[in-house]
Amino acid sequence: MDRKKIAVLGAGSWGTALSIVLSQKNYIVNLWSRRSEHAESLEKCRENSKYLPGVNLPKNIFIYSNIIDCIKECDLIVLAVASQGIRETLEKISDHVNKDQIIVNVSKGLENKTLLRISEIVHSFLPKNKYVVLSGPSHAEEVSRGIPTTIVSASKCREAAELVQDVFITPNLRVYTNPDVVGVEIGGSLKNVIALGAGISDGLGFGDNAKAALMTRGIREIARLGLAMGAYASTFSGLTGIGDLIVTCTSMHSRNRRCGILLGEGKSLDEAVSAIGMVVEGVYTTKAAYDLSKKYGVEMPITTEIHNILYQGYSAKESVYNLMLRSKTHEIEEVIEKDIKGW
């Protein structure tokens, strides 16, 4: 493949980690930080000391604080900003993007005010550009250090998905393709909600039994919403469903789990988020997921109780009891109701 020029918009931990991966493949990488002082620090120290300390930035990563200069003549534009900042970023660049530039989103979340997925926001600004979402169980701390990781490149356009697969794949980063953009985006977004719940469980001092139940029932309700929105069921048993859920619910690299632990220990939401010191996507996604469950008429009891904790003032213990004392039901409702007649 020819030597590509790639713009990465967002110099947080994930944007930085992917920039390092791409630079190691000898691509020209332009990394944009929205704060000029942060860009100056990256250029001077060649290390993202706040978001990814201890990892050096190779020389073929060029640092920008001017976003228009950053995307100029690039083949791919990677969106690595927080989900609530996607619209603002697109407003800055949309008039300067040409139709041949492929948009690659690596952010996981939903827009709170509109309930839109990121692909829908991108399409509203750049309807002629090919869109790919990269997602999966992938902590920046591990990817930046070459620890084996597997992710998914999803797009309605197979050619674009496979091109991005080729660009990002390395001996340590395996990339699969998938046509299910809806499922990949919903799985990647809502696993952060369940990870908050897993952290709350840990913070309350509950054990492995409780967390296993939370994760298992959590993927069921994620899939229910995804199917209602047009996703494929199989996506939720893959890397961007159960795979991403496992890593986010069990790892201390996960901001969402760490935030949940603090909530379970009795901290307020503001105190917990402040202690994390970085964007906790699940806090925003919980509200959007709750609103989507009402819009599509999908029962999501775990999401509802986490919403109650974050936004309705419920105590964590109160919400756990609400979940445990729900009306009795079958484990796999649709199988019992549709496939096993007379049971």
Catalytic residue IDs: 191
**For the chain, the helix, strand and coil percentages under 3-state DSSP, each to the nearest 5:** 55, 15, 30
* Token pair for 2: 């020819």
User: Cα(266)–Cα(119) distance, rounded to whole angstroms?
Assistant: 36
One-letter amino acid of 58: P
Neighbours of 169 (CB within 10 A): 16
C-alpha angle with apex 254: 252 to 258, nearest 5 degrees? 65
Neighbours of 298 (CB within 10 A): 18
Q: Tell me which H or E stretch contains 29.
A: strand 28-32
Dihedral of CA 273/215/178/115: which sign?
negative
Between the alpha carbon of residue 19 and those of residues 5, 58, 59, 77, 144, the distances in Å are 11, 9, 11, 12, 9
